[in-house]
Structure formats: structure tokens, C-alpha cells
Structure 1
Amino acid sequence: MRVSGAVVVIAVLDGGSGADLARRFTAAGAAGMLIADQHVGIAEDLAAELDRPGCPVVGVCGDIRRPSDVAALVDTAEKHLGPIDLFCVAGPEGERVVSLADLPDHLDLERLAELVALIGEAIGELVPPQRRPSESTATAA
């Protein structure tokens, strides 16, 4: 995984923290980062702390469990930082990094759906089993 020169999105789930991950990417030479947290002010404060010449950092409030928020994060990152190289999910059980090397520079709707699926898999890996919906709850309508 190439970090030097990469544009990185870090999305934080409830119970997770993107601070250490963001600091590691900054130290490794990331070209820019967008940090998203579900709670207002958290990502913005971290972005203000880490923003520097050569690695602009943008902080936004967003919930990656919603496809519309994923689309907004992608748009914001591409607008301010350029094409995304790495999309990271930080959850209560750790971190997962999704490389976008196989996706085109600009994510069209089909590729965005692929990204949403990858993020869904990452969330599944990082959310403790006791916080996941049970089979009976998930299928009850």
C-alpha cells in the first residue's frame, strides 16, 4: 500500500478513532486527507490540527453507513484534494483500509456502488458482533 503522495479518506464509526490513523498517514507523506466523523466538530478539530502545506486536511461530519454520505465524502474529497487513493474505515474493533487503485479517477454511479459495497464489508469487519443486527432482527419487517 503506497501512502506517500496518496489522497486518503478516513471515515470514523461510533466507537472508533481516526486520530492515530490520520497522524500515521501524515507522517508517511500523504498528499491530502479528508476525515469524516459522525459527531460534529471531531473531524474538523483533527483536520485543523493536522493541516499543513503539502498535506491539506479537510474535516467533515458524515456517516458512511449512508450511501448518500459516502457520495458526498467522495465529491468533497475530489473537489478539495483530487482523486482518492485510499478509503479507510476506523471502527471500535480497529481499522480497515480500502485501496481504490482498481477504480477510475472519477467515481461514476456504478463504481460508487462498488465503493459502497467495499465500505459495507469494512464496517462489518470493524463493528463488534454484539452491535450487529441479529438475523431475526434484520429479517423482521
Structure 2
Amino acid sequence: MRVTGAVVVIAVLDGGSGAELARRFTAAGAARLLIADLRPGVAEDLATELDRPDCHVVGVSGDIHRPSDIAALVSTAVKHLGPIDLFAVAGPDGERIVQLADLPDHLDPLADLLALLGEAIGEVVPQQRRSPEPAAVA
């Protein structure tokens, strides 16, 4: 995964922390970073801490469980930082990084991103907090 010069979005889920992940991306040479956290002020404070001339960092509040918030994050990132290279999800059980270059060109990029983020959320949210599977009908 190429990080140097990349535009990265980090979405933090309830119980997760994006601080260490954001620090790793900035240390690895990311050019621009957008951090979104459910908790008001957390991403903004982290962005202020990490922002520097060679890596512009923006912090916003957002909930990637809602497709409208994902669309807003993507729009904000592209408008202020340029095309997104990596989209990371930080949850209570770890992190998952999605490379947007892996999305098929011929499909709706937002729909593909929503599907990949749904998988990512499932991987980084503890099993006991996930929605139960519907019972099979006999």
C-alpha cells in the first residue's frame, strides 16, 4: 500500500480511536488527511495537533454508519484535499484500510465504497455489538 503523497480519510467508529492511525499515516508521508469521529471536537483537536505544511489535516464530525455521512465525507475530502487514495476505518477491534484504486471503474464508486466500508465496519466492531443475524425461516 502506497502512503507517500496519498490523500487519506480516517473514519472512527464508536469505541475506536483514530489518533495512532492518523499519526502513522502522517509519519509514513501522507500528503493530506481527513479524520472523522462520532464525538464532536475529537477529530478537530487531532487535526490541529497533526496539521503541518507537508501534511494538511482536517477534522470533522461524522458517522459512517449512515450513507449520507459517508457521501458528505467523500465530498468534503475531495473538495478540500483532492481525490481520495485510502479510506481507513478505526473501530474498537482494530482498523481496516480500503484502497480506492481497487474499486472497479465502471461501477458507482460511492456504492462500491459503501459496500467495502460495511465489510470494514463488520471487521472492526466487536462481535457482541453487531446486529444479530435474522433467524432462518423453516
Q: TM-score by structure 1 length?
A: 0.91
Once the two structures are superposed, the pairs formed by residues 69-88 of structure 1 within 5 Å of their partners are: 69-88=69-88
2:10 aligned residue: 10
Once the two structures are superposed, the pairs formed by residues 74-113 of structure 1 within 5 Å of their partners are: 74-103=74-103, 110-113=108-111
2:64 aligned residue: 64
Local SS of the residue matching 1:35: strand
Deviation at 1:103, TM superposition (A): 3.9
Q: Does 1:124 align with 2:112?
A: no
Aligned residues: 136
Aligned pair partner of 1:135 in 115, 133, 136: 133
Local SS of the residue matching 1:101: helix
Give distance in 2, aligned partners of 1:112 and 1:133. Answer: 23
**Structure 1 127/37 Cα, relative in aligned 2: closer, same or farther at 3 Å?**
same
Deviation at 1:112, TM superposition (A): 0.2
**Letter matched to residue 86 of structure 2:** L
Give distance in 1, aligned partners of 2:103 and 2:76. Answer: 17
**Letter matched to residue 132 of structure 1:** R
Deviation at 1:136, TM superposition (A): 4.1
Report percent identity of matched pairs: 75
Local SS of the residue matching 1:89: strand
> Which consecutive segments of 4 or more residues in structure 1 shift more than 3 A?
none
2:34 aligned residue: 34
Deviation at 1:135, TM superposition (A): 2.0
Local SS of the residue matching 1:58: strand
**Structure 1 51/112 Cα, relative in aligned 2: closer, same or farther at 3 Å?**
same
Deviation at 1:122, TM superposition (A): 0.1
Deviation at 1:45, TM superposition (A): 0.2
Local SS of the residue matching 1:36: strand
**Letter matched to residue 120 of structure 2:** A
CA RMSD of aligned residues (A): 1.9
Q: 1:68-126 CA distances to partner (integer Å, 9 max, x unpaired)?
A: 0000000000011100000000000000000011348xx99821010000000000001
Local SS of the residue matching 1:114: helix
